Structure 1
């Protein structure tokens, strides 16, 4: 469903010169899989997702999403994905229901299809209570659920979620995690970045550990534990990125 081969992104910084935010990442994400991208802040997780979503062009290397090349078939990639970033925000003067109708039209869905899909998504994300309330009046957790609903409205086979639970309380986070599992059970590929260990342990089928732009490790939780010599997942993570001083 998703493949990368030596994917690299280099930026030019006035003070530091050439900076490689992502370097030589090769991985594969499968259908019906929750694939976690785990790493500390600044590791390159967001840059990697932005390249896969065609927001950024790779400096070198290749990647395909849903069978489409991110360089030459960007429009087809974008039609096949739902994308949630830290900067995604709802339109304050619209209600969630109005927002979904608007984005459904942008995706070329007819009114009856939008209405039916809106009903499904509102139920799956526990949004019925505030579906007709202006977004400017919603809490952080409610607004994030609106953003996720917008990303999945057109039933994309691939979802990219960048830190989807950032700033959410326990109940809102649980709703989002439950919805991600539902997406996997429906056959979608879900790729999400996080630095929260409990989310990775409770949700991911496989995990890519990213550190300083490089792929430090890739595998199931049990495979990563075996490679790192056991212990808590926090200890495993620190060993894999070479930061375990214990």
Structure 2
């Protein structure tokens, strides 16, 4: 019986790698990049003229979670929010990012409502509020590849971008580890790497210094200053007043909590 024409691939043609193989190759490349001296992380993502929270409040029944609060954020600002527990700081960050709708008042970006379900909001604002859900079977580099590709990064440059972020946070050596193998401080830095890798014009961070030792807190301060100097805005809640004073260009104090 004659063989059907074209049933056998030419001997010199190599099969196209599966997407999972391509991802693994990029992840391996990210962890093999040569160490570089404190690479700066440039601002990226669409810009905005101002983001404004105007007299926003949040209540649940008779409980006031956030009293009337206003804040205007301009490009390049580095704003640290300080205050006691229960003052509504985290609630305010959720409102600012469009994750939580206020009971009253408004939050706008260039006069348009902010809502995290809107693609335009997500392209501008990169939040880190609470722990990041990870995948048990993916390494640190795999997670970052997933984020990079989700946000439109070109595949050829993924390894270099990821290596730059990991190296800047001094965690390049953890690229091939799983999240469960990291200490709490290392996990905190990995979660920060995840949000830094996203294209954005505004970082919103809830206590990014938590679980970090003194040296890593100093590193965090340097990274946030670099981000603002490159044109991005940063709004972050901080319980380390010395770090906030040393890092931020503006301090906003929330009143005593309940």
Q: Is the 8 A contact 1:21 1:213 kept in 2?
A: no
Q: Is the 8 A contact 1:52 1:65 kept in 2?
A: no
Q: Counterparts of 2:112 and 2:144 in 1: how far apart (Å)?
A: 26
How does the TM-score come out when normalised to structure 2? Answer: 0.74
* Cα 1:72/1:163, change in 2 over 3 Å: closer
Q: Is the 8 A contact 2:202 2:234 kept in 1?
A: yes
- Give the counterpart of 1:81 among 111, 116, 125: 125
Match of 2:91 in 1: 47
| CA deviation profile, 1:69-110 (whole Å, cap 9, x unmatched) | 215974321221111123225434322211101112222333
Match of 2:53 in 1: 4
The correspondence of residues 26-37 of structure 1 with structure 2, limited to 5 A, is 26-37=70-81
Q: Counterparts of 2:111 and 2:183 in 1: how far apart (Å)?
A: 38
Q: Counterparts of 2:240 and 2:181 in 1: how far apart (Å)?
A: 28
* Cα 1:72/1:116, change in 2 over 3 Å: closer
Q: Are residues 1:207 and 2:251 paired? A: yes
**What residue ranges of structure 2 are gaps of 5+ in the alignment?**
1-49
**What residue ranges of structure 1 are gaps of 5+ in the alignment?**
13-17, 215-246
State the SS of the aligned residue for 2:236: strand
Q: Counterparts of 2:89 and 2:109 in 1: how far apart (Å)?
A: 17
The correspondence of residues 89-108 of structure 1 with structure 2, limited to 5 A, is 89-108=133-152
User: 1:116 Cα deviation (Å)?
Assistant: 3.1
Q: Which has the higher strand share?
A: 1
Runs of 4 or more consecutive aligned structure 1 residues displaced over 6 Å after TM superposition: none
Match of 2:194 in 1: 150
Greater RCO, 1 or 2 (C-alpha within 8 Å, sep 6+) = 2
Match of 2:216 in 1: 172
How does the TM-score come out when normalised to structure 1? Answer: 0.78
State the SS of the aligned residue for 1:177: helix
User: 1:193 Cα deviation (Å)?
Assistant: 0.3
User: 1:66 Cα deviation (Å)?
Assistant: 6.5
Q: Counterparts of 2:204 and 2:187 in 1: how far apart (Å)?
A: 18
Q: Counterparts of 1:109 and 1:4 in 2: how far apart (Å)?
A: 31
Q: Counterparts of 1:32 and 1:41 in 2: how far apart (Å)?
A: 28
Match of 2:226 in 1: 182
Q: Counterparts of 2:204 and 2:97 in 1: how far apart (Å)?
A: 8
